[in-house]
Amino acid sequence: MSPFMLNAVRWLDEGRNGLVGVVPQLGSAHTLLSKSGLPCEKSGFRKELSVYVCTSYSDAQADEIQDFVAEGGGLLIGGHAWYWAQTNPAHWLVWEYMFLTIHSILFYTVVFEYNHC
């Protein structure tokens, strides 16, 4: 996973060598990026970042993050929705999972359906 993450962040940075912000909960990601030589710090979202690395578990600042990406900022967002999908069976994951409130941006959405045997 390390090469994938490093390549993704470098691609999102687009050669700017800008500051990468990593949410404080992702200590391992911050360590990996720091060791690679990328300028990064643990922080919440700020517009002066080149790339923002966060989880899909909060929609805080969704509008600001959407604007950031639309204006050329990089966003690496990850997580899984299996627990949410299992505890909200009457809801449609693609439209209601909080990560997807950051919308109208180019996203590749992969939904895995888990069926109990």
92 pLDDT exceeds 50?
Answer: yes
22-32 pLDDT tens trace: 999 999 999 99
Mean pLDDT of 13-18: 94
Q: What are 40's strand-pairing partners?
A: 20
C-alpha closest to that of 76 among 98, 50, 96: 50
Percent of residues, the chain, with pLDDT higher than 90: 45
Confidence of residue 98 (pLDDT cuts 50, 70, 90): low
109 pLDDT exceeds 70?
Answer: no
Q: Where are the domains of the chain?
A: 2-79
37-76 pLDDT tens trace: 999 999 999 999 999 999 877 778 888 988 898 889 999 9
Measured in degrees and rounded to the nearest 5, phi and psi for residue 20 equal -100, 125
Spatial CB neighbours of 31, under 8 Å, sequence gap ≥ 6: none
Considering the chain, what is the average pLDDT of its residues?
Answer: 79
What's residue 59's pLDDT?
A: 72
Mean pLDDT of 90-102: 62
Take residue 103 and report the two structure tokens written for it: 């919308």
* Max CA distance (Å), the chain: 49
Distance CA 117, CA 84 (A): 20
What's residue 107's pLDDT?
A: 44
